[in-house]
Amino acid sequence: MQLHKKTGIELRAIFLAAVCSQTYTQFTNTDGSFVVPLNYSVSHTIQAKSISNEWERFGFIIESPQEIIIAFRGTSSTSDWISDIIASQKRFKYIKQDCLTHRGFTDIYSSARDELFSALTGLSPAKTLYITGHSLGAALATLCAIDIAANTAHHSPILFTFGSPRVGDPAFSKAFTEYVKNSWRTANLYDVVTYTPPTVYKLPKREKKYYYSHVQTFSSLSFQNGGIGANHIIGSYFAELSRLHPAFTQSLCVTNPGFCPATEASPNGPPNSQGIKKGNPLS
């Protein structure tokens, strides 16, 4: 039976939020291990460099007989945090349009690009390709999606991000819409990370200004968990999304022990949102 489109998007968001949580497990475990969902296998470990110029695990590629998932993790080290705040911009050289993107995010993505593309070359373009990430990982996923759409045989990636900061200037956001036709940027209205960098960013003691705009399509959640971190962590996003389809979530977690993120940070009261709601992007 074919799922209603909105329901299908919500179920996919729940599943991919759990996938995103495993990028943190992969980084934390010294051997890089993580829980791979049933019927999937690991195709590639994503290695990238942040400001420290040291290689770190930044996610993975997993695949099933029907689909491929590229997942990027968010900020987990001091050097990641420093990269996050390098909010000056540079030209995004992987597409023909003249547009600018966040320097810190772009440098991390660029360091991983060659190996990632090499891994993707061996995977069938007939499979549905999902790209996902949380926080900094959402920014990397956004850059990856437009790059893959423009420069590989996988012309139609589907992007799901959670708690993403702004990634580039208005020209980048416009170009993104031209290349990536299926994208859902899920943001908690109380998540401060989704409001950064500001739409107009200026370095101290310098006159130059940088302009930022979110990419489409915006899907809002609304939850307050008592703190900046709790309003942003992937476990909170997963908990709120799970309220939309608790039976599906329970089945997912039981079938894949250890796959779902801890949800202790989820609100105890009734949900503030009635599900994923399309709205105007936070410009």
Per-residue confidence (pLDDT) for residue 206, from 0 to 100: 79
Mutual angle of helices 234-242 and 5-28, in 10-degree steps: 150
Q: What is the pLDDT of residues 118-171, one digit of tens each?
A: 999 999 999 999 999 999 999 999 999 999 999 999 999 999 999 999 999 999
**Residue 237 vs residues 5, 30, 123, 273, 275: alpha-carbon distances, Å:** 20, 26, 30, 12, 12
Pairing assessment for the beta strands 158-162 and 182-188 based on DSSP bridges? parallel
Q: Which residues contact 152 (CB under 8 A, 6 or more apart)?
A: 117, 120, 121, 125
pLDDT band at 207 (very low <50, low <70, confident <90, very high): confident
Query: Looking at per-residue confidence, does 5 or 178 come out higher?
Result: 178
All structural domains of the chain: 5-278 (3.40.50.1820)
Give the pLDDT of residue 279. Answer: 41
Q: Identify the H or E element spanning 95.
A: none
At 4, is the pLDDT very low, low, confident or very high (cuts 50, 70, 90)?
A: low
pLDDT digit string, tens, across residues 93-108: 999 999 999 999 999 9
Please choose, from the candidates 160, 155, 162, the residue with its C-alpha nearest in 3D space to the C-alpha of residue 179: 155
pLDDT band at 278, cuts 50/70/90?
A: very low
pLDDT at site 84 = 56
Q: What is the mean pLDDT of residues 235-253?
A: 97
pLDDT tens for 34-93 read 999 999 999 999 999 987 788 999 999 999 999 999 999 997 654 555 555 678 999 999
Average pLDDT of span 24-37: 97
pLDDT at 205 over 80: no
